[in-house]
Amino acid sequence: MCKENKNTKNTKNTKEEDENMNAYAIKPNSPFVASKPLKRTSASKENIERIKLMESHDFSFDILEDNKVEIKVTKKK
Amino acid sequence: MEILFDNFLKSSDALDDNQGVTYIMLSDNENMIIGYYNISTGRVDQIERVNNVDYYVPMGGSVNINYLAIAKEYQRINIYKGEKTKVYLGDYLLHDCEKRIAMLQKIVGISFITLNSTEQGYHLYHERNSYSDFEEDMSTFVPESDKLCYKLYKWIDDIVIT
């Protein structure tokens, strides 16, 4: 679960590491304007399956000394 | 093409609630940022032309994902493999964001999630998480920087809540 960012000064991320965050979305410079009504799109079966998996498990992420991530997955009771 | 953030988390915008709120995904010992997203409210309009005059009619309120990013070394990490599907860190971060937005809908009443996807993020949103391409009215002004990205949307009622 993500937390609201109040202060990141206690994290180990250096300035260079912060600059190496890969962007999946960036703030647009123009408004969202459409010429016709926006259609609804139902989630795919695979999308639903994936969300069920995420909701039925707990995930934890441990960063090892070599900077690799160790992921622990436990089924929720 | 990869787009790297220029130190967004260290900028004043990351902590400015007037610009958006940033949520970070930390490692267990809370000393490493794995990823983050920043959201703010917005609006989607429909343009209607009457007698050569453009009118912008509100279609619905929105929450815009201003930024979503994963640390370069952790992107494309498969965090769980089920029988029928895999879960990547990007899916996990986006799902957290969507759950938060679905909760906001109950409080303030909003219709859409909108975002400006990078080429790198398009597969995550469009192929894996059922976001649709925004059919932009080409007569409106689109800055050059936005042409490198894909405007996407999802109706909040289409978010899967289990």
Fold of B16-158: Aminopeptidase (3.40.630)
Query: Confidence class of residue A8 from pLDDT cuts 50, 70 and 90?
Result: low
* Chain A residue numbers touching B143 (CB-CB < 8 A): 29-30
Instruction: Determine the pLDDT at residue B152.
Output: 95
What does the alpha-carbon distance between residue B159 and residue B129 come to, in Å, rounded to a whole number?
9
What does the domain layout of chain B look like in residue ranges?
16-158
Amino acid making up residue B117:
S
pLDDT at B11: 81
Per-residue confidence (pLDDT) for residue A12, from 0 to 100:
54
Which ipTM score applies to this complex? 0.84
Cα(B79)–Cα(A7) distance, integer angstroms: 27
pLDDT average, residue stretch A13-28: 72
Looking at the domain assignment, is residue A13 inside a domain?
Answer: no
Count structural domains, chain A.
1
| A&B contacts, CB < 8 Å | 264
Report if residue A2 sits inside a domain. Answer: no
- Assigned domain for A53 exists: yes
Residues 102-131 of B with CB under 8 A from A: 112, 114-118, 120-121, 124-125, 128-131
In this structure, is residue A22 part of a structural domain? no
Mean pLDDT confidence for A2-31: 70
C-beta pairs of B136-141 under 8 Å, 24+ apart in sequence:
B136/A33, B136/A34, B136/A35, B137/A33, B137/A34, B137/A35, B137/B47, B139/B47, B139/B54, B140/A30, B140/A31, B140/A33, B140/B47, B141/A30
**pTM for this predicted structure:** 0.88
Residues B87-122 pLDDT 10s: 999 999 999 999 999 999 999 999 999 999 999 999
Query: Which of B44, B88, B127 should be substituted to probe chain A, the one whose Cβ sees the most A Cβ atoms within 10 Å?
Result: B44
Q: What residues are paired with A61 via a beta bridge?
A: A71
CB-based contact B28 A60, cutoff 8 Å: yes
A10 falls within a domain? no
Position A9 pLDDT exceeds 80: no
**Res. A5: pLDDT tops 80:** no
Handedness of CA A37, B154, B124, A22 (dihedral sign): positive
